[in-house]
Structure 1
């Protein structure tokens, strides 16, 4: 998001407003508005004083979003020349929570004479689907769609109807507007004639409530949870500040979800503005990275994903029995299947990550109740890996690009992400490296649960043997002897895709690589080709495939680097883990201690300030989780001092 937008995020709702609190109806890479359940419920919110836009004296902030509720303020006044004195000042405070935007405008007279002004607010709701707003190259047909605008005693109500799809936005004002006017664009203008005595003041309170389709009342408030730890709980220094900001961002990004028995949960949404929704891989990795400090988030993530686990084969959704969902969308285009993401299962790695988190959660909490409750889901997930994903017949988890969905289905899911060193895309059925590491760790963890929790020793033995067999196959088929590094993938013909990529850090983390191979990978990951000074490049520089502005072929992702740091520490390379951690913390400090989702691959020696990646989400959940995971690297060092150093 550009810096001129302030983001207010809470409970699955967010507002993007301009520097004075206005909304203009922008589209493209940086849309503004009020958003709930994948739709824009407010597309115009523009204030004027006597027909003119006010002057911004203090702009809305663009800093932390972890407050409860999300809040921003601005100070505005009448436009005036150098010799004029504005008659009034407006103090504007906006909050977002539970499907609502509240805008309180305090109007204060500045002089010893009475003041009379006309305040007007132009409002509209276009109910645009987020996929419309993010895609400038495709026009989505909406047959028989109707938009309505209806006057209310205290404001106006906007409606949208397409067949059985019905959404509303209600704007209520206190005091009620003196007039509601139509504009040429179809928007409505709410008008107040404000009469102030000398040095007098008054307050307008406007409440915008979203009523998305399928939610007949305002969005349900999530159940209460323990308050997020205070910043002091994370200690001082760059690590403490980055952890405090990450925890605040994660709290802001948690959104309502339902469990297997329709219980209310709070799960981490992936990121703002495009992914304020449940994405399986993102929620699972975020929960794994924060398991020490937020075990409740891991619990809720597992239950929400168990509730959406596939039961039947649905080719149009890329679903097979036991598979964990990749993306859940609630918008109009998903409802009418104009995009495939209503419940979309195009991920090869969410299912093993589900098993990995279930086992790690039981170990971390010492509580096996959740593992008992989700035993059936776990067994179905294991069956999916063997019976549908290729582990049984072909020895690896595999995927093919699906029409209308994702070309790649590991975490590097952009179309050109899995490519040969010359940049040529891998084709056919793909076996990506990182998911094999997740599958290995998932089998190991599930074997532990089978033995220690479910009392199924025979199954535990089979899973352990399958894990070791997978590891042996992987080392045979993926290892590049000349490079002393694993291949990025195998293509449809079984050829090694010999690009050197950051997935190797995930393989260290999951334990597939050990001994001399782990040592070789650790050395390479901290080489100048990989380590930019801020983090690990997704593809090592020096290969034709490398591009510093490519999403998964050269850019630096903090969560990816944090996983690599954990892997380095696991392999005993604590000094290298510390070097990587220091680079990531310097990156966080350069962004006000909010870890960015992704930056470009330009090196720190050439560019002493991190070069941003265009269109990155902020805040973003697994980026917010990264500092919390780095605490493990600091505490794991043999010479570790206080975690806040």
Structure 2
């Protein structure tokens, strides 16, 4: 359909998503806002353009909705001769399928013939091709074709043994199907529908994505079927009530409900270590509807007290993909937890290192942190017993390859084939000195040392309480105590009375004042006096925007309110800090950050974005959006649950 002005609608369910224009259409955009039908990292529908009676339809009601997208269209009309009929359109997605219902209602007392034409195409672009970084990937031997049959068209993509296809089927069958123009594979489907006097006719369309290496999607013929499936899945996940305390801040219940609904939609299937099917929280739309080590771990940690099944699924999936060998191209090392899983063509041909990419310094320590947290929260020792080998392997990686044995800290070096920075602030230039210059590696970022400390303490607890290995527990406790003592000595900056963001490859303190310090309160690596000083410092105006704590304190050369990691405000970052403030008993600070996040949430329909600009509340009465924020996004969706936990802890 035709891209009339207005916002896009995003539908997401079961690992598939569609980005549709106000008229329900797809124009094949690239860059920061791609549209289309996406499944397993590929765009399976790149054009979907409707004309009615030979012209683009007028949009009476633009597309909107979540379980399904609804819009109302008409042929062009005038005040003196209004449209002969109206098209009520509903679209929905399920696993690998987009369904569309067009109900045409005759507005006149005489029969009317409606002439509809739909132009469809599938470019099978890998999501990495669609980004705005201008990279071009060689695809020797790739071939796109299209074939027709009585009720639709099939688009096929082949490159060597790689084969994907997309089918478009309709009921009733088209009167004609014809190619639009070479060399494109786009085809036009035409219908002539008879509408009786004040009567109606219906056209059903089904787009099915058959991705390489994936099972065939289940048959879904109507939006109603897809909506019912979506509603059942969401209800099963969201039905259990949350323990919202009496007198809770305004908006907390709404933000938590919105977050749970988004988390339900963002779950994608994965396999556990025994081949069992599990559901895990994917990172976000549009670029990251897949398992991410760090993102899925933090999302599961925030949701753990209320939806422990997310943690169980995440732990099983990450155990199944844990590194087993050395592979420099993708950063794999034995025991290392994967950073990102990709299923697309470019990953298959290793043109990007993301089939399984392991370039993360923090996912590996966070794995045993979540495992012990799950055991402690649920009282279920079964999972810790099943994943003992994987937890031990993760700890071994921290010492052997992560740097604890050699330098005493978890470190990473820039990856020429992957990420320059391998902590959560993974954009280039994010780990910077006060003057804004990027630190050079091997780099030891502050928060990763806290995660390592917590991982050692928690794995020691599992060794004693579940695995029955006191000697191993003693060794880990000793290593943790040593790390805690050294960290304060090497990272604390006496002048600003604050931890350094990192140590660079020469052991120099990277002296930016950064939000990473707040993670140290959550992990427990700081003693109480130092933790309290950090917690209070983070609420000063150069850090706290009024909505949230900035990634970098304002007023310094490296700060930029629209920089991805050097001045923006990330809800998940604030969630970790909130849990740390609550752990330290800083009740006033906890409540101030919680209220800021909830008020920001209210300005976004109670859905927190991935990231917000760093402008102060005094500069603008609403949170200023970051222009390229993912939405929905998993750890932002789970942030209200962390807010709930922090507020409950400070009330006790």
SS at 2:589 equivalent: helix
Contact 2:210–2:217 under 8 Å retained in 1? yes
Give runs of ≥4 in structure 1 deviating > 6 Å: 219-226
Partner of residue 50, structure 2: 47
1:58 aligns with 2:61: yes
SS at 1:227 equivalent: helix
Deviations 1:470-492 (A, max 9, x none): 11110000001111110000001
1:309 to partner: Cα distance: 0.3
**1:384-463 correspondence runs (5 A):** 384-463=397-476
SS at 1:205 equivalent: strand
1:9 aligns with 2:16: no
Partner of residue 172, structure 1: 169
1:225 to partner: Cα distance: 9.2
1:218 to partner: Cα distance: 1.7
Partner of residue 636, structure 1: 649
Partner of residue 23, structure 2: 20
1:569 aligns with 2:593: no
TM-score, normalization by structure 1: 0.96
Partner of residue 227, structure 1: 236
TM-score, normalization by structure 2: 0.95
Partner of residue 295, structure 2: 282
1:606 to partner: Cα distance: 1.1
Contact 2:550–2:567 under 8 Å retained in 1? yes
Cα distance in 2 between the residues matched to 1:392 and 1:232: 46
* Residue 528 (structure 1) aligned to one of 520, 541, 547: 541
Partner of residue 36, structure 1: 39
Partner of residue 124, structure 1: 121
Deviations 1:424-444 (A, max 9, x none): 110121001111010011111
SS at 1:228 equivalent: helix
Partner of residue 643, structure 1: none
1:514 to partner: Cα distance: 2.5
Shift in alpha-carbon separation, 1:548–1:89, aligned structure 2, 3 A: same
Total equivalences in the alignment: 632
Contact 1:44–1:124 under 8 Å retained in 2? yes
Contact 1:234–1:244 under 8 Å retained in 2? no
Contact 1:231–1:244 under 8 Å retained in 2? no
Partner of residue 198, structure 1: 197
Cα RMSD of the aligned pairs, angstroms, is 1.6
Partner of residue 610, structure 1: 623
51-60 vs 361-370, which moves further = 51-60
Q: Which runs of 5+ in 1 are unaligned?
A: 641-645
SS at 1:255 equivalent: strand
1:82 to partner: Cα distance: 2.4
Shift in alpha-carbon separation, 1:233–1:112, aligned structure 2, 3 A: farther
Contact 2:329–2:417 under 8 Å retained in 1? no
SS at 1:367 equivalent: coil
1:84 to partner: Cα distance: 1.7
Contact 1:230–1:244 under 8 Å retained in 2? no
SS at 1:166 equivalent: strand
1:233 to partner: Cα distance: 4.3
Contact 1:20–1:59 under 8 Å retained in 2? yes
1:636 to partner: Cα distance: 1.8
Contact 2:194–2:201 under 8 Å retained in 1? no
**1:57-456 correspondence runs (5 A):** 57-61=60-64, 65=66, 70-184=67-181, 185-218=184-217, 227-230=236-239, 233=242, 235=244, 237-456=250-469
SS at 2:26 equivalent: coil
Deviations 1:185-226 (A, max 9, x none): 431111100111101101111110000011252279999798
309-318 vs 177-186, which moves further = 177-186
Contact 1:210–1:218 under 8 Å retained in 2? yes
**1:578-617 correspondence runs (5 A):** 578-617=591-630
